[in-house]
Amino acid sequence: MDYQHILETVWRDIQPYARLGQQADYIPALARVNPDQSGICLKTLDGRTCSVGDADVRFSIQSISKVFSLALALHFEGENLWTRMGREPSGTAFNSLVQLEYEHGIPRNPLINAGALVTADILLDHLPGDPEQFYIDFLRTLCGSPDIDYNTEVAASEQSCGYMNAAIANLLKHYGNIHGDLDRVMRLYFMMCSVEMSCRELAQAFIPLANHHQPFCFAGIDLTTSQIKRMNAIMQTCGFYDEAGEFSYLVGLPGKSGVGGGIAAICPMRYTIAVWSPRLNAKGNSILGMKALELFTTLTAESIF
Amino acid sequence: MDYQHILETVWRDIQPYARLGQQADYIPALARVNPDQSGICLKTLDGRTCSVGDADVRFSIQSISKVFSLALALHFEGENLWTRMGREPSGTAFNSLVQLEYEHGIPRNPLINAGALVTADILLDHLPGDPEQFYIDFLRTLCGSPDIDYNTEVAASEQSCGYMNAAIANLLKHYGNIHGDLDRVMRLYFMMCSVEMSCRELAQAFIPLANHHQPFCFAGIDLTTSQIKRMNAIMQTCGFYDEAGEFSYLVGLPGKSGVGGGIAAICPMRYTIAVWSPRLNAKGNSILGMKALELFTTLTAESIF
Amino acid sequence: MDYQHILETVWRDIQPYARLGQQADYIPALARVNPDQSGICLKTLDGRTCSVGDADVRFSIQSISKVFSLALALHFEGENLWTRMGREPSGTAFNSLVQLEYEHGIPRNPLINAGALVTADILLDHLPGDPEQFYIDFLRTLCGSPDIDYNTEVAASEQSCGYMNAAIANLLKHYGNIHGDLDRVMRLYFMMCSVEMSCRELAQAFIPLANHHQPFCFAGIDLTTSQIKRMNAIMQTCGFYDEAGEFSYLVGLPGKSGVGGGIAAICPMRYTIAVWSPRLNAKGNSILGMKALELFTTLTAESIF
Amino acid sequence: MDYQHILETVWRDIQPYARLGQQADYIPALARVNPDQSGICLKTLDGRTCSVGDADVRFSIQSISKVFSLALALHFEGENLWTRMGREPSGTAFNSLVQLEYEHGIPRNPLINAGALVTADILLDHLPGDPEQFYIDFLRTLCGSPDIDYNTEVAASEQSCGYMNAAIANLLKHYGNIHGDLDRVMRLYFMMCSVEMSCRELAQAFIPLANHHQPFCFAGIDLTTSQIKRMNAIMQTCGFYDEAGEFSYLVGLPGKSGVGGGIAAICPMRYTIAVWSPRLNAKGNSILGMKALELFTTLTAESIF
């Protein structure tokens, strides 16, 4: 399959959508990003790399980080993790409080904000040394880029105006599902969201999720084949908030989006693909990113279904 | 892969779970079914059939019928279908009214009761001749069993005491999302739910969903490869009500369950599998069926992820 | 207090609001009513009657009938009534299904549709002879007008297109909170809603609720002082759907509204007042009626608070 | 009316209920209160005072303070107040977040926690000098007790473990309905909740709400007759969270409860009454207090209805 050629076709065909949507602007550092950048990078398990556009420009991975923290939590807690959260699609927006109150502080899944806050609380119990440093080192090992880092301005902005996340965290604490100090948990959470990576780096970081025949072992964190497949299952049903069904229907790959405009997805035993474009639809997912992936799996006729 | 041997291993290992759960008893005809029957049938795309247990006993397919009516509706309406319903997981029980009221009569997806009632309304507009007869003929063609039929006693019981479904149908009518006569729509809906098939017949009927390289064309109904893959995507995210994430996590195959105790699932380009055991968990899904499929995909290490 | 003079002042001052709002048009018989009619009638316990406008034109009392059926149900069931429904404000629209599903078929109070449907079911168990006839006879006795009747066209229209009420009734039946035949219950319910009375007749019919020192005894139905006061309490907290707080705040009298544009209210031991104007606000309450009563209690400085 | 004799009868008749229920124990200072204390004090507008039991023991007034802060907010904002909150019963528990999210940060009414937090934010804009001191001085003037104060330990405990209230406050801030600093708003809110008063002092403090013929003017805060009556209306529909209908039905007086076990209520132009007993029912209202007031209005046959 000539993926590079297909990527270029996709690239050309999505241009009419390039000005639609609005980038995230709830914090200044995200509002300042040039919204007209975009890129795609695909990596195959047999070692090829294809890309178009701004595939080497780093951006705020935001909620895509929830996949990496889920990997860490599964390593440390195994199936015990599910006493603290569910693995069902939420059917609601990423930051909804309603479900959390009805279900007494048990988040629906690890890929919504509430679930990722509980995950951060769990990681504080397990990560050796400086948790923030461990997380960055894990990501650096995972994608082989020693200079990946998080954006301190973004992290600080998120913390200072993240009232909805603070509401969620306090509700979790009220129900006893955050054990540690609230400020500490939120600091780790916001730091994880503010990591910056390029499409090329994200595509590399997701390789172990696509390649479940290889042992997953990075920076001392290892996962079984079954755990990797289950992470993919969770991405499939929960990776796009209340558009999980839409992404599954149109694209048909396990993936995860972030409000920075990135989407990373995998085709098991074949490839990983990361797209980026800051303009979002009403559900908080990248418009160009969704469109590019829909076209890509249509043209390749490759999907998990 | 020696599927027959694996099925037998699964069969042996699930026996400790055989008495757990409760069969559906909301109508006499379902309450009378011997709950200690169970069976599995697997069919590969290359023509092999493996089975264990009561694989040839027919049972009430109930909500599995929603997959067949979705196929018909996609044929007739194409993407227009999505003006009448969504394709997102509901995150709630199969018969919940709450979401339907909040979302003004647009069902979340075609595999919950509300969505299937709207689908029945749509089919009444399109099916030539006697709709019930057309539906049965379609199923007979699909699985090559000319004597498949629906159980008139079950259909009549469902209609006479299906107050929750009548509430849903009236709410849909209130919001203008059922166009035809309510009683007529419900009659077709309940007839479709009361079709009886065996595991062997269900496994055969799902073959075209697994084999998306072949043209789907039965009884004049045809679907494209893309439509088949999208049906699988909808089963993956919406096929098990508020246990869709659980089934995706534990089993990793697109599938659909029914309160008669059946589950049918597919592994794209490989096989279809149907299991049956009437005892249900609290979410209305077959306990033995869920367990059998979880063990099966663990032992084969084959899933879509 | 010169009530007649005050009524005339109110009448003049509300004219600027006379064209605001929209009359109910969900059935033809209500849509045909001339929306520019309006009237007020006040009756004091010491026997005076004051009125302005179309105080003798009969209109569809709709939900005001729920007060009369509550009186009957309290007579027959006493405090047992509260095993079938609550007496809390709903905080939601008059016909919401959400709460009813969350609370497993127990309506919040007798003055929303769900509560009145359960009340109708209860009355069918108790009313001797022809229930519809008994109800009409009770109203005729209550207001001393032997020719009060219900509008058969309105009742038939409500029944034939009352899908939301049918949804509610089916949900109640599903939860076992309607015991009788659904169609029978709905026929009585819609008949009660379609009774036609004038402001003068409504003001007379509410006199026993204002005059709790007198024994309540009409057509063999008797209530204690305590029961009358408690009916007033329920009107106060539940009589205006999700505008109960608003009416309490602005008017300060126990009362009940209907989508026909009528409102009846009482000032304990002083007077009853009925207003009518078909144009409704977004909550389904008469705009002129609300405004008139607000001005009236402001000018008289008489309210229960 | 011999109120003292009636109080003594009530006192005797409620003793069988004296050990039912559980005192609030979410903070140590409340958990340490002797739960077997209880008292009643009634004050008439003509100057009589009657009491039984521990009518002079001070207790934490908790949510009863919301009435006093509403009085202040109405003085400063008048009808503008209702741009920041509603005046409808919530139909849900006092600390529910669900409604607040659905209604985008506009609390249903000023007597639930969310509404009182917005009120505290408003008061910080208006109260001259030290807001906490002003509030205490207002209460001291209102009931003529110069040594009323708040319990600093209770205030500190509430603040340090009030995660649910912090969740609500953050959600309000997210929706832009808290303008000031969150910690500052919560400090004032918790201080107001932790004021300690006796039944005698509460009964005195509520006199101006019962006596709406007199001008309300205390510590520079004045309210019109209409404003006082409207405060009573809000207490009537919203003063007991999701038991507002129950209190209205059984007691029939405007009032307000607190989780410290106090209830204060008024009979317009007649009397005020305050009861206290720490043991609460499942809704957070004093069991003895509810029972005592029900018996009292039954025996006197005096209520607003």
d(CA A164, CA B228): 40
Domains defined along chain A, listed by start? 3-62+196-300 (3.40.710.10), 65-194 (3.40.710.10)
List the beta strands (DSSP E) in chain D.
39-44, 49-53, 59-60, 149-150, 195-197, 216-218, 221-223, 255-257, 262-267, 271-276
Q: What would the pLDDT profile of D258-298 be if each residue is shown by its tens digit?
A: 999 999 999 999 999 999 999 999 999 999 999 999 999 99
* pLDDT, mean of residues B102-112: 93
- Band the pLDDT of D94: cuts 50, 70, 90: low
Q: State yes or no: pLDDT of D205 exceeds 90.
A: yes
CA angle centred on A245, ends A244 and A247, rounded to 5°: 65
Please count the other Cβ atoms lying within 10 Å of the Cβ belonging to residue B112.
26
Residues of D with CB under 8 A from a CB of C: 86-92, 99, 108-109, 212, 225-226, 228-230, 232-234, 236-238, 242-246, 248-249, 252, 254, 268, 298, 301, 303-305
Contacts of D221 (CB under 8 A, 6+ apart): D71, D72, D75, D138
**Closest by Cα among D52, D30, D49, D50 to D39:** D52
User: Taken in order B76, B80, B84, B90, is the CA torsion positive or negative?
Assistant: positive
State how far the Cα of A299 lies from the Cα of A297, in Å rounded to an integer.
Answer: 5
Average pLDDT over residues D120-129: 96
How much is the pLDDT for D97? 82
With 0-12 / 13-18 / 19 or more C-beta atoms within 10 angstroms meaning exposed / middle / buried, residue D129 is exposed
Closest CA to B304 of A254, A214, A239: A254
Which residue is closest to B182 within chain C, CA to CA?
C163
Residue of chain A with shortest Cα separation from B250? A230
What is the rounded average pLDDT of the residues A240-267?
96
User: Residue B37, Cβ neighbours under 10 Å: how many?
Assistant: 14
Question: Considering only CA atoms, which of B2, B85, B38, B5 is closest in space to residue B286?
Answer: B38
Query: Which chains have 3 or more CB–CB distances shorter than 8 Å to chain B?
Result: A, C
Mean pLDDT of the D108-134 span = 96
Which helix (DSSP H) or strand (DSSP E) does residue A223 occupy? strand A221-223
List Cα–Cα distances, B298 to A11, A234, B247, B267, D239, in angstroms: 39, 17, 13, 13, 57
Predicted confidence band of residue D212 (pLDDT cuts 50, 70, 90): confident
pLDDT for the residue numbered C214: 87
pLDDT digits (tens, 9 = 90+) for A159-207: 988 999 999 999 999 999 999 999 999 999 999 999 999 999 999 999 9
Q: Which three-class secondary structure state does DSSP give residue A39?
A: strand
Lowest mean pLDDT among A80-94, B3-17, B201-215, C263-277: A80-94
Lowest-pLDDT range of A6-15, B199-208, C57-66, C158-167: C158-167
| β D39-44/D271-276 pair status | antiparallel
Amino acid code (one letter) for C300: T
Chain B residues close to A108, C-beta within 8 Å: 91
Q: How confident is the model at residue D95 (pLDDT cuts 50, 70, 90)?
A: low
Taking contacts as CB-CB distances below 8 angstroms, the residues of chain A near B228 are 305
Cβ burial of B147 (10 Å; 0-12, 13-18, 19+) is exposed
Cβ–Cβ < 8 Å for B198, B65? no
Question: pLDDT tens digit string along D10-49?
Answer: 999 999 999 999 999 988 999 999 999 999 999 999 999 9
Cβ–Cβ < 8 Å for B213, B152? no
- pLDDT(A250) > 90: yes
pLDDT band at B102 (very low <50, low <70, confident <90, very high): confident
| A276/A263 Cα distance (integer angstroms) | 6
Is residue B34 over pLDDT 80? yes
Residues 6+ apart with CB under 8 A from C255: C235, C239, C240, C247, C263, C264, C265, C266, C293
Compute the distance between CA of residue A15 and CA of residue A273 in angstroms, rounded to an integer.
Answer: 19
Chain A residues interacting with chain B (CB cutoff of 8 angstroms): 86-92, 99, 108-109, 212, 225-226, 228-230, 232-234, 236-238, 242-246, 248-249, 252, 254, 268, 298, 301, 303-305
How distant is the Cα of C108 from the closest Cα of chain D, in angstroms? 9
Residues of chain D positioned with their CB less than 8 A from the CB of C230: 249, 252, 305
Partner-chain contact D91 C92, CB within 8 Å: yes
From CA C10, how far away is CA C41, in angstroms rounded? 12
Q: What is the dihedral of CA D91, D95, D98, D103, to 10 degrees?
A: 80
Query: Is pLDDT larger for residue B219 or for residue B84?
Result: B84
Which tokens in the block code for residue A298? Answer: 């249509």
CA-CA-CA-CA torsion sign (D283, D285, D289, D294): negative
> Average pLDDT for residues D214-235, to the nearest whole number?
94
Task: Report how many Cβ contacts below 8 Å link chain A to chain B.
Answer: 109
pLDDT tier for residue A244 given thresholds of 50, 70 and 90: very high
Handedness of CA D102, D106, D108, D111 (dihedral sign): positive
Res B112 pLDDT > 80: yes
Q: Which residues of D touch C243 (CB under 8 A)?
A: 88
Q: What is the pLDDT of residue A48?
A: 98
CB–CB of A230/A218 below 8 Å?
Answer: no
Contact check, Cβ <8 Å, D90/C91? yes
Give me the residue from D86, D90, D248 closest to C233, CB to CB: D248
Query: Any idea of the CA torsion for D242, D248, D253, D256, to the nearest 10 degrees?
Result: 0
First-to-last alpha carbon distance for chain C, in angstroms, is 18
pLDDT for position A94: 62
Tell me if C90 and D86 make a contact (CB, 8 A cut-off).
no
Residues of D in contact with C223 (CB under 8 A): none
- Bridge partner residues of D265 (DSSP): D255, D273
Backbone φ/ψ region at A234: left (φ over 0), alpha (ψ -120 to 50), beta:
alpha
Please give the mean pLDDT across all residues of chain D. Answer: 95
Residues of A whose CB is below 8 A from B212 = 305
Which DSSP letter does residue D253 get?
S
Cβ within 8 Å, pair C238-D245: yes
- Compute CA distances A229 → B42, B100, B297, whole Å: 22, 33, 11
- Model confidence pLDDT, tens digit, residues C60-102: 999 999 999 999 999 999 999 999 999 999 877 666 787 888 8
Q: How far is CA C286 from CA A19, A230, C37, D277, D278, in A?
A: 47, 57, 12, 43, 44
pLDDT for D92 beyond 80? no
The first and second tokens of residue B284, run together, are 């209305």
Distance CA D156, CA A252 (A): 53
- In chain D, residues with a C-beta closer than 8 Å to the C-beta of A97 are 97-98, 101, 167, 171
Q: What is the mean pLDDT of residues D231-248?
A: 94
pLDDT digits (tens, 9 = 90+) for A272-305: 999 999 999 999 999 999 999 999 999 999 999 9
